[in-house]
Structure 1
Amino acid sequence: MTTGVAIIAIVAVASVAAAQVAGIDESDLPQDAQMLLAADTLVYDNDRNTITAVGGVQIEYGGYRVVAQRVTYDRTTSRVIGSGNVEIIDQDGNRYHADEIDLTDDLGEGFIRALRVETIEKTYFGAESAEREGGRITTFNKGVYTACEPCEENPNRPPLWQIKAQKIIWNGERKTVRFQNARFEMFGLPIAYLPFFEVADPTVERKSGFLMPSVLGGSERGYGLKVPYYFALSPTFDLTVSVTGYTKQGFLGEAEWRQQFNNGQYNLRIAGIRQRNPEEWATTEVDGNETDRGMVASKGDFQINPRWSTGWNIMVQSDKNFSRSYDIEGYSEAVHRSEVYLTGLDDRNYFDLRGYRFQVQESAVTGGRNDAQPLVLPNLDYSYTPDRSVAGGELTIDVNAQSLYRDEGMYGTKLQGLEGNSGRFTTEAEWRRSFVTSAGLVVTPILHARGDSIFTDYSQNAVGQIQSFTINGMTTESEVRSAYYRSMATAGIEARWPILFSAAGSAHIIEPMAQLFARPDEPYHDRLGIPNEDAQSLVFDATTLFERDKFSGYDRIEGGTRANLGIRYSGSFANGWTAHGLFGQSYQLAGDNPYDSPDLVNVGAYSGLETDVSDYVGLVGVSLPNGLAFSTGVRLDEETFDLKRADVRAGGAVGPVTANLQYAFIESQPLYGFDEDRQEVSGHASIRFHQNWRGFASGTFDIESRTLVKNSFGFAYDDECFTYLMSFSQERDGVTGERENSFGFTISLRTLGDFGSSSAGLSSFTAQ
């Protein structure tokens, strides 16, 4: 019986050591667990009233394992004393080493000398001695903490970083760890001193307290220090508040509330500032004309059931540039999309209903794009594909509805947006079935039908803009109606003949392909009253050559009889190389060409489709087994083969170097709003010149204006416990020559947190 008491007391030592660092409670020890004791000698000293296990002591109990040279239980004082390379392994695999332990069997009082801890999370802790008082507070004297693994070649070498403290006090009741007279060391050299700081017990996932601060900077804002505080209010909701003090603009306050449910979560974020020196910005900028600024935003995502989900992402701010100017997390992008949505997905069927508005964050006081952004409510997309075949083929039914309102129009060489209301309801169905002949020819008949209902309620100003709109100096039919109804029926056929042939060490597939679509002319193709909101961008290239309708949205539809011809190629080689390509052309065979018809945004101008015989389009791609890849896509004039559009990409990883390069060329499109050619080359490269060190750089060069539009470079160090990143970037305005420099750094200490600066501009000046 006394032996059992002794063993239980010895195992209690393991519990204490675990509790001191990993927060394991002594109540975790099972009361009915089987105990195994192995020792060279077990000595009963009745005179001293002790029981001692000597020589290679090994104890296993309740998932704990204790190894020592000598363990003694004093029945008079109820103390357990262990000595000689004491090692304790707890239920989770954490290891605790000590030269000597001396504890009461009720775990309330005790002393440990030369404690070292290795946790399964690869964190390390040590102390010259440890004392436990009152069963709740453990004090580590001259403690050391790090998350860096010891060097295998030289274990005595200091870790990359560590925290040394005169005292480390673990409070088991409050679940906190307090460092007193602590200094932070890197490579064994002290770089910072803190009289005290306190962190949550490692067993606590969420605890109120200060988070790591961060440094912010900007020429107009001044330098700033952001200090956040976290409130762990409940297992399902919490709050983070922060104050940022800027040297030029004063104090910015922020708060974020987060709440979690079984089927989703949401957050609410607010931020505000009373600018002390708005004149730091130019008077032509919205930032320089505001004093009291703020925002309210919320995001939410909820899974209603396995098929349906709903959510929102909404931002409201005092002016159109606050969140971007002050880098509000999650809301500082150049264009923010506020929306609410309901989405359903079931096998091949899809439903999406949402309302949204684009918020362009820009600095211009007058003009700009933000005020002309529409409110879209609702926008509906529905797609249904029956599980069973229809007449042996596949039937797809699509529905799209859109209604929008604009307070202000977007006018210029194009009428990109019209004041007032407009809406459209579209239903379409497509059926297709493929037949394969004995010779390998694949023939696919295609039937398509579509109907649209369109309404408009434009302002008088918008009607005037439409009626006075000209294309290339020529007036067009400009009757504006309040309602339009249009339909389109298409009969098409597609033929593909893949031909496979092999050579020594390679296989190739050449596939001639042809499509023919017959349909009437586009309804109202010579009228400007029908709005074009979602089909303003048209890119004709090899990827869209075989599209039935090459317009990008529902507001424009293709009419007339058109043929698409081309040839595709793919090949694989024994050395691991692969290649693919496509080349072809499109032909308007009958009816009016929809890409040469009047349009409020001149969407078909210079598209390569505005003539009955289109430009040539093609692409070629090559992939190498070492990870390198190359691809290029071009559009060539159908008569002269002059280059109209090009996109060239190359990239991959070779050894320690990862790089990619992209070149883009677009010929001038005056009627589409671009009077000059556009040429741009951009690239990014990263090199790891050491196991833990890497450098990176990127840049974008405008060839036409001979301007390095933006560039950045930096370096980073990362290992299992520490990450450091420093970067510099610069952006230039090709017209004014104004530059904006940005500098940022991030230091990440595993288990402690991140500290760093934002990449906000540090200075702006006009280039000489």
Structure 2
Amino acid sequence: MIRRLLAALMGLMPAMTPLPLAAQGLAQLVADSVTVTAQEVLVARGNVEAFYDGTRLSASAITYDRAADRLSVTGPILITTPEGEVFTAEAAEIDPRLEAGLLRGARLVLDRQLQVSAARIDRTGTGLTALTRTAATSCRVCGTEAPLWEIRAARVVHDEIGQQLYFDDATFRVAGVPVFWLPRMRLPDPTLERASGLLVPQLFSSDALGFGLKLPYFIRLGGRRDLTVTPWIATGARNLELRYRQAFRSGWTQIETHLAEDDGAVSPRYALFAEGAFALPRDIRLEFDLEAVSDEAFLLDYDLSDQDRLDSSLRAYRLR
């Protein structure tokens, strides 16, 4: 979308009209002032906004040098696309033929969920975006304070077509403290609904388990089945959570298990939850709910539920 917007803006340049204008239905450029120098350089300054096919670009100034065949954008720059991508940058230099583009001091926000800040962003025009010296997080960033968690990498490549993020020389940090390092890693794009990969890590703390981290990994087993494996790593316990889901033509089922080992407690501890519903012939509906734990305190210790008793059931009914 950004490439199409810039391509449409190029249609404005040959006309060299020194007024805000619409590019014959292709694009709109609005600014406080638009001037053309004797060297055939078009300069739009002050509250510059460009619109094209749902994509919006805002900047302090846009300059097109016909002799150098170069488009320069002065920040602060904000680019939003209908697909949910948001780019911010301090400055940008873009080839009008769109063979290459460079954004400096930039940030990429994907689907309002994951933000990746970088020293520079290079758009290749082939569906790949390369980000150098990056920090990625889904947490809110306030000033210079380190986010709750982030992934720092020497380089990140965003595959827009494959909806994947590839990290090189990545370090996972919690509150600014490095936890582990990976030479390479891959994360699904937040816009991708179902793909195998690491999900957003979660931090937790409790009196029973101490301070810990959850690292969920989603495994796609097909169009109707999936498995989420979530290790819990805490100062006072270890827990492996497995969640299996499957959809059938006439119903669905979900099975969740926990296998835990606590410091100072009788091991192993476990929990099992299974539920599902099926539509049977003659308008009969079958539902089941199974709950089992190794001990009474397991649900509270792992903050799974605050109920004081287990409730398993099997029900078949028909409504007319």
TM-score tier, shorter chain, comes to: 0.5 to 0.7
Residue pairs, 1:381-396, within 5 angstroms: none
C-alpha distance in 2 between matches for 1:102 and 1:150: 27
- CA spacing shift, 1:80–1:340, aligned 2, 3 Å: farther
Answer yes or no: is the 8 Å Cα contact 2:108–2:116 preserved in 1: yes
Paired amino acid for 2:275:
K
TM-score, normalization: structure 2? 0.62
Select which of 86, 103, 114 maps to 1:112.
103
C-alpha distance in 1 between matches for 2:106 and 2:210: 47
Answer yes or no: is the 8 Å Cα contact 1:264–1:302 preserved in 2: yes
Identify the residue that residue 203 of structure 1 maps to in structure 2: 191
C-alpha distance in 1 between matches for 2:6 and 2:205: 57
Identify the residue that residue 355 of structure 1 maps to in structure 2: none
Identify the residue that residue 244 of structure 2 maps to in structure 1: 257
C-alpha distance in 2 between matches for 1:99 and 1:225: 35
Select which of 250, 253, 257 maps to 1:266.
253
Q: Deviations over 1:632-662 (max 9, x none)?
A: xxxxxxxxxxxxxxxxxxxxxxxxxxxxxxx
Identify the residue that residue 301 of structure 1 maps to in structure 2: 277
Paired amino acid for 1:204:
L
Select which of 41, 59, 79 maps to 2:35.
41
Q: Deviations over 1:270-297 (max 9, x none)?
A: 5668x999x965xxxxx7xxx8x87765
The answer to whether residue 43 in structure 2 is matched with residue 61 in structure 1 is no
Instruction: Could you tell me which runs of 5 or more consecutive residues in structure 2 were left unpaired when the two chains were aligned.
Output: 11-23
TM superposition shift of 1:148:
6.1
Identify the residue that residue 230 of structure 1 maps to in structure 2: 218
The answer to whether residue 131 in structure 2 is matched with residue 140 in structure 1 is yes
Residue pairs, 1:257-406, within 5 angstroms: 257-260=244-247, 264-270=251-257, 281=266, 298-302=274-278, 309-314=285-290, 322=294, 324=296, 327=299, 335-344=309-318
SS of equivalent residue, structure 1 residue 138: strand
- CA spacing shift, 1:74–1:237, aligned 2, 3 Å: farther
C-alpha distance in 2 between matches for 1:66 and 1:227: 37
Answer yes or no: is the 8 Å Cα contact 1:181–1:193 preserved in 2: no
Answer yes or no: is the 8 Å Cα contact 1:145–1:164 preserved in 2: yes
How many residues of Structure 1 are paired with residues of Structure 2 in the alignment?
A: 290
TM superposition shift of 1:207:
3.2
The answer to whether residue 229 in structure 2 is matched with residue 241 in structure 1 is yes
- CA spacing shift, 1:194–1:54, aligned 2, 3 Å: farther
TM superposition shift of 1:150:
7.1
TM superposition shift of 1:118:
6.3
Paired amino acid for 2:157:
W
Answer yes or no: is the 8 Å Cα contact 1:323–1:332 preserved in 2: no
Answer yes or no: is the 8 Å Cα contact 1:108–1:136 preserved in 2: no
Paired amino acid for 1:338:
S
SS of equivalent residue, structure 1 residue 139: strand
TM-score, normalization: structure 1? 0.30
Answer yes or no: is the 8 Å Cα contact 2:148–2:174 preserved in 1: yes
C-alpha distance in 2 between matches for 1:7 and 1:223: 49
Identify the residue that residue 154 of structure 2 maps to in structure 1: 167
C-alpha distance in 1 between matches for 2:298 and 2:37: 72
Identify the residue that residue 71 of structure 2 maps to in structure 1: 81
C-alpha distance in 2 between matches for 1:148 and 1:296: 31
- CA spacing shift, 1:33–1:167, aligned 2, 3 Å: farther
C-alpha distance in 1 between matches for 2:140 and 2:235: 40
Identify the residue that residue 99 of structure 1 maps to in structure 2: 90
TM superposition shift of 1:231:
0.6
Answer yes or no: is the 8 Å Cα contact 2:111–2:190 preserved in 1: no
Q: Which has the larger radius of gyration?
A: 1
TM superposition shift of 1:129:
1.4
Paired amino acid for 1:257:
Y
Paired amino acid for 1:84:
T
C-alpha distance in 2 between matches for 1:43 and 1:304: 77
C-alpha distance in 2 between matches for 1:120 and 1:108: 26
Residue pairs, 1:410-449, within 5 angstroms: none
- CA spacing shift, 1:185–1:44, aligned 2, 3 Å: farther
- CA spacing shift, 1:38–1:52, aligned 2, 3 Å: farther
TM superposition shift of 1:265:
2.7
Paired amino acid for 2:130:
T
C-alpha distance in 1 between matches for 2:202 and 2:26: 50
Instruction: Could you tell me which runs of 5 or more consecutive residues in structure 1 were left unpaired when the two chains were aligned.
Output: 12-31, 46-50, 282-286, 347-768
Quote the sequence identity (%): 19
Higher RCO (CA < 8 A, seq sep 6+): 2
Higher strand share: 2
TM superposition shift of 1:125:
4.6
Q: Deviations over 1:602-632 (max 9, x none)?
A: xxxxxxxxxxxxxxxxxxxxxxxxxxxxxxx
Please give the root-mean-square deviation of Cα atoms over the aligned residues, in Å.
Answer: 5.2
- CA spacing shift, 1:71–1:303, aligned 2, 3 Å: farther
Residue pairs, 1:303-702, within 5 angstroms: 309-314=285-290, 322=294, 324=296, 327=299, 335-344=309-318
- CA spacing shift, 1:41–1:331, aligned 2, 3 Å: closer
Q: Deviations over 1:486-511 (max 9, x none)?
A: xxxxxxxxxxxxxxxxxxxxxxxxxx
C-alpha distance in 1 between matches for 2:168 and 2:270: 38
TM superposition shift of 1:143:
3.1
Paired amino acid for 2:82:
Q
TM superposition shift of 1:239:
0.4
C-alpha distance in 2 between matches for 1:333 and 1:119: 38
